[in-house]
């Protein structure tokens, strides 16, 4: 199973030709996709029209759901933020830090196209779903 970040879902729904979109399509085909609650929020809040909202609500609801935050993740996310900051890297979005931390703790590969996740891979043990699949 992999968790898919909103950056990839958005490209997928727009039909963007990326390696991440190709990997997502492959994983959907074999039933290996998780949708995080915060990721679903990010995707849905980008909808401009009610019809689009309803369609994406239905589509994202077809996959296994993963709750991103609990007390353990909240504390570990703060530790991860501080660890990166100590290296001179300041994560830009708290939600990305929470998503990365959930994946690190549970050893869930993350499929992403947002480079904000790269420091989590390089320094904290986040597994890139592209690396895990051998696509790189």
pLDDT in tens, 14-57: 999 999 999 999 999 999 999 999 999 999 999 999 999 999 99
> Is the CA virtual torsion 104, 109, 30, 36 positive or negative?
positive
pLDDT category at 136 given cuts 50, 70, 90 is very low
CATH of domain 2-124: 3.40.50.1010
Segment 125-131 mean pLDDT: 96
Percent of the chain with pLDDT over 70: 97
Q: Quickly tell me which residue has 């001179």 as its tokens.
A: 88
Segment 103-124 mean pLDDT: 98
Residue 102 above 70 pLDDT? yes
Mean predicted lDDT score pLDDT of the chain? 95
Residue 135 above 90 pLDDT? no
The number of beta carbons lying within 10 Å of the beta carbon of residue 93 is 11
pLDDT of residue 134: 55
Segment 56-79 mean pLDDT: 97
Rounded to 5°, angle at Cα 11 from 131 and 92: 70
Report whether 75 contacts 59 (CB < 8 A).
no
Distance CA 22, CA 20 (A): 5
User: In terms of DSSP H, where are the helices of the chain?
Assistant: 6-14, 19-29, 37-45, 50-60, 71-86, 94-106, 118-124, 129-133
The number of beta carbons lying within 10 Å of the beta carbon of residue 39 is 25
């Amino acid at each position: 199973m992999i968790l898919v970040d909103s950056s990839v879902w958005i490209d997928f729904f727009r039909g963007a030709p990326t390696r991440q979109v190709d990997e997502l399509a492959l994983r959907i085909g074999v039933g290996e996709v998780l949708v995080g609650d915060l990721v679903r929020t990010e995707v849905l809040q980008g909808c401009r029209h009610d019809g689009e909202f309803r369609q994406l609500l239905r589509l994202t609801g077809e996959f296994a759901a993963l709750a991103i935050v609990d007390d353990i993740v909240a504390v570990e996310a703060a530790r991860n933020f501080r660890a990166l900051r100590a290296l001179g890297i300041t994560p830009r979005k708290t939600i990305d830090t929470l998503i990365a931390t959930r994946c690190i703790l549970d050893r869930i590969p993350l499929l992403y196209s947002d480079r904000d996740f790269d420091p989590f891979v390089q320094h904290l043990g986040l597994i890139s779903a592209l690396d895990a699949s051998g696509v790189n």
